[in-house]
Amino acid sequence: MKIPFLDIAAQIRPLRTEIDAAISKVIDSTAFAGGSFVEEFESQFATYCDGPFALGVGSGTEAIWLALLAMGVGHGDEVITVPSTFLATAEAITYTGAKPVFVDIHPQTYTMDPALLSQAITPKTKAIIPVHLLGHPADLQPILHIARQHGIFVVEDACQAHGAEYHGKKTGFLADAGCFSFYPGKNLGAFGEAGAVLTNNPDLHEKIRVLRDHGQIKKYHHTMVGWNCRMDGIQAAVLNVKLPHLDHATQLRRQHATTYNQLFAGLENIITPFQAPWVKHVFHIYAIQVERRDALIQFLAHQGIGTGIHYPIPVHLQEAYRHLDYSQGSFPVSEKTSRQFISLPLYPELTVEQIHTVSQAVKNFLHQSPHA
């Protein structure tokens, strides 16, 4: 039995008729770039996240970039984030002209370690981007506390955390801006590229709204130099169909994660995901840590089980960021997870039987090489 790492087709199948009808409506109305379907999604998604404004944009990367631009981040500034993230978080910083500065992650939550934050702040620090990695919200209260003392903005990278909660509140409106990706593989995925920026701040909202549309306040009246970062109507229409199903999908992800945790309980050579008591984890990714990670990937692949690594090279050691002059050992926790993380199949449509097959295969591997 083959078990793929991701099965987007299985997720679409039951919604296909509804999605086809929604796409047809966009075609009939020709509202392709921005327009009424995007506005509807913005309103639905803001409501879902319990806040006032959401702006549809072209991707999660653009969402972070625009949020930083609207905050006035640019050349000569520094923006703090974590090395254990998808490169896009750092790229968005670089594309404002600012310099990414890293703070290591906490060994249990895999998100920014607030205890290490103060020492990374300099007079040039303009913003901090905690990443809700794998679907586990970062510990925002101490981060916001430090940021407020220094007058620094905080941007949530919530690209992996749709519907996740921190102290009972949904991610997205917990800081100055919240950025989401609707890349097809994310917990809420479009049929192509899409993203959103959320903010409680009317000033930031207005700036981002204008920036994403060539700096236009109305057609052909440009008050700033912006960029083309509009969301497509077709993506919005697909997301409008999928959003009402997100909570049920999240519930299934959480159930599956609990099942894996139970099946792995008591094994010494495997670290299962931690869930802080103050969060609702949405398990975008179910990652465990094992020492012989690469051998386990091979072992599972031979049995038709797909896996992933999130991520094999931390950002500070990527060739693209060699000029920042970080070396091996700079961020030991991020470096350790990059060596030991393996992401197992976890999606709503996975069956309990499949979860048993995967976990049994992992156990067989650990059993045959007990010092793994």
Residue nearest to ligand PLP (CB): 60
Name the nearest CA neighbour of 235 among 7, 14, 33: 33
Q: Work out how close the CB of 158 gets to ligand PLP at its nearest, in angstroms, rounded to a whole number.
A: 8
- Our finding on whether 159 is near ligand PLP (CB under 6 A) is yes
Q: Can you list the pairs that 330-334 forms with residues at least 24 positions away whose Cβ atoms lie under 8 Å?
A: 330/83, 330/102, 331/83, 331/84, 331/102, 331/104, 331/105, 332/104, 333/84, 333/104, 333/105, 333/106, 333/107, 333/113, 334/82, 334/83, 334/84, 334/102, 334/104, 334/105
Q: Minimum CB separation from ligand PLP for residue 110, in Å? A: 11
Our finding on whether 155 is near ligand PLP (CB under 6 A) is: no
Question: Measured from the CB atom, is 86 or 365 closer to ligand PLP?
Answer: 86
Handedness of CA 91, 316, 121, 141 (dihedral sign): positive
Exactly one of 125, 160, 171, 359 binds ligand PLP (CB under 6 A); that residue is 160
Residue 317 makes CB contacts below 8 A (sequence gap 6+) with 83, 326, 328, 335, 338
Examine residue 96 and tell whether it contacts ligand PLP (CB under 6 A): no
- Quote the least distance from Cβ 69 to ligand PLP, whole Å: 15
163 binds ligand PLP (CB under 6 A): no
The least distance separating ligand PLP from the CB of residue 258, rounded to whole angstroms, comes to 23
- How many residues touch ligand PLP (CB under 6 A)? 14
User: Judged by CB under 6 A, does residue 181 bind ligand PLP?
Assistant: yes
Q: Per rule CB under 6 A, is residue 338 in the interface with ligand PLP?
A: no
Burial of 148 (0-12, 13-18, 19+ CB in 10 A): exposed
First to last CA, the chain: 25
> Please, what is the minimum distance in Å from the beta carbon of residue 61 to ligand PLP?
3
Among 88, 112, 134, 155, binds ligand PLP (CB under 6 A): 88
> What is the spatial distance between Cα 347 and Cα 366, in angstroms, rounded to a whole number?
24
Rule CB under 6 A: say whether 86 interacts with ligand PLP: yes
Question: At its nearest, how many Å lie between ligand PLP and the CB of residue 185?
Answer: 8
Q: Nearer Cβ to ligand PLP, position 186 or 254?
A: 186
Pick from 59, 187, 338, 354: which binds ligand PLP (CB under 6 A)? Answer: 59
Most distant CA pair in the chain, distance: 68
Residue 342: how many CB atoms within 10 A of its CB?
21
Point out which residues bind ligand PLP (CB under 6 A). Answer: 59-61, 85-86, 88-89, 131, 157, 159-160, 181, 183, 195
